[in-house]
Amino acid sequence: MSSDPDLGVLLAAACERIVREILGELAGAGYAHLTPSQALAVLFIGDGLDTVTQLADRLGMTTQAISKICAALAAEGLLDRHPNEVDARSRRLTLTPSGTAAVTRMRAAGAAAERAWVELVGAETLDVVKGALAAFAFAPPSAAASPVRIRFS
């Protein structure tokens, strides 16, 4: 590692490590067949997103791609699709008990990753890092920012 590591490379490596930890936890619980995009879709549905459009916006994917992901997740028994009372053109997405169990596993893996950070740098430093990452992640993008979004699939 160089004496002044590139921030972008460090963030990508940290993100990849956390995603691998989460996918490893899922694999150990019988969900090894889930792709990263499928796992994130399940997690976001667990967080309250309940339409294909919302998932597409959050994941930076097309609604067609998310529809295919949701069809696969429904076939796997992780989510159900229901009529949307507000918009007849769309379907509401809800997790099945198996989908909820997958979310519980992902949250446990995320919490374990946070504990590993705390062991490495301490709780106060992690709080500063999380605050800085949130400030940067949710700040308006620069005019030169690309519309391309990172996907883990």
* CA distance linking residue 94 with residue 149, whole number of Å: 25
Residue 145 has a pLDDT of 76
- List the beta bridge partners of residue 94: 80
The CATH T-level fold of domain 7-137 is: Arc Repressor Mutant, subunit A (1.10.10)
Residue 18 has a pLDDT of 87
* Of 33, 58, 32, nearest in space to 44 by CA: 58
Per-residue pLDDT of the chain (153 residues; tens, 9 = 90+): 557 889 889 988 888 888 888 889 899 999 999 998 899 999 999 999 999 999 998 888 899 999 999 999 999 999 999 887 877 777 899 999 999 999 999 999 989 989 999 999 999 999 999 999 999 888 888 888 777 666 554
pTM here is 0.80
Residue 143 has a pLDDT of 81
Residue 38 has a pLDDT of 93
* CA distance linking residue 25 with residue 47, whole number of Å: 19
Domain boundaries, given as residue ranges, for the chain: 7-137
Residue 75 has a pLDDT of 96
Instruction: Give 25's DSSP letter.
Output: H
